[in-house]
Amino acid sequence: MQKNDKLNNVPQNPTEPEENEPEQDEKRSEVLSDLGATEVPQMKSDIHVLTVIGQVEGHLVLPAQNKTTKYEHIIPQLVAVEENPDIKGLLVILNTVGGDVEAGLALAEMLASMRKPVVSLVLGGGHSIGVPIAVAARVSMIAPTATMTIHPIRMTGMVLGVQQSFDYLERMQDRVIGFITSHSAISDKQVRKFMMNTGELARDIGTVLAGEDAVKCGLIDEVGGLSEALAALHRLINEECGCENAGGGGKCCGV
Amino acid sequence: MLWSVIPEDVVLAGLNEASEVLEGRVGRCDCRLRRGKDGVCTVERLMSTNPADYLRAELAPGNRIWVR
Provide the pLDDT confidence category of residue B15 given band limits of 50, 70 and 90: confident
How many residues are given for chain B?
Answer: 68
| Residue A22 pLDDT | 55
Closest Cα partner for B19 from B3, B42, B2, B1?
B42
| Residue B39 pLDDT | 78
Helix/strand/coil for A148:
strand
Q: Cβ(A232)–Cβ(A239) under 8 Å?
A: no
Residues facing A96 on adjacent strands: A54, A126
For residue B1, the chain A residues in CB contact (below 8 A) are: 58, 100-102, 153-156, 172
Q: Which residue of A has its CA nearest to B25?
A: A8
| Residue A18 pLDDT | 41
The Cα–Cα gap between A154 and A177 comes to 14
| Residue A97 pLDDT | 92
What is the DSSP code string of A188-238?
HHHHHHHHT--SS-SSS-SEEEEHHHHHHTTSSSEE--HHHHHHHHHHHHH
| Residue A118 pLDDT | 96
E strands, chain A, where? 2-3, 47-57, 68-70, 89-100, 118-126, 139-142, 147-150, 207-210, 222-223
Task: Indicate if the alpha-carbon torsion angle A141, A133, A250, A241 is positive or negative.
Answer: positive
Closest Cα partner for B29 from B2, B68, B1, B57?
B57
For residue A58, the chain B residues in CB contact (below 8 A) are: 1-2
Task: Indicate if the alpha-carbon torsion angle B14, B19, B24, B25 is positive or negative.
Answer: negative
What distance in Å separates residue A242's CA from the closest CA in chain B?
Answer: 27
Q: Indicate which residue of A127, A151, A183, A234 is catalytic.
A: A151
- Average pLDDT of the residues in B47-62: 90
For residue B28, the chain A residues in CB contact (below 8 A) are: 12
- Average pLDDT of the residues in B2-6: 85
Low-confidence ranges of chain A (pLDDT < 50): 1-6, 9-20, 247
Read off the pTM.
Answer: 0.81
| Residue A251 pLDDT | 63
Helix/strand/coil for A96:
strand
What ipTM score was computed for the predicted complex, to two decimals? 0.86
The Cα–Cα gap between A107 and A99 comes to 12
**CB crowding A34-51: b at 16 or more within 10 Å, else e:** eeeeeeeeeeeebbbebe
Surface of B (21-60) touching A: CB under 8 A: 21-28, 31, 33, 36, 44-46, 48, 51-58, 60
Q: Cβ(A141)–Cβ(A221) under 8 Å?
A: yes
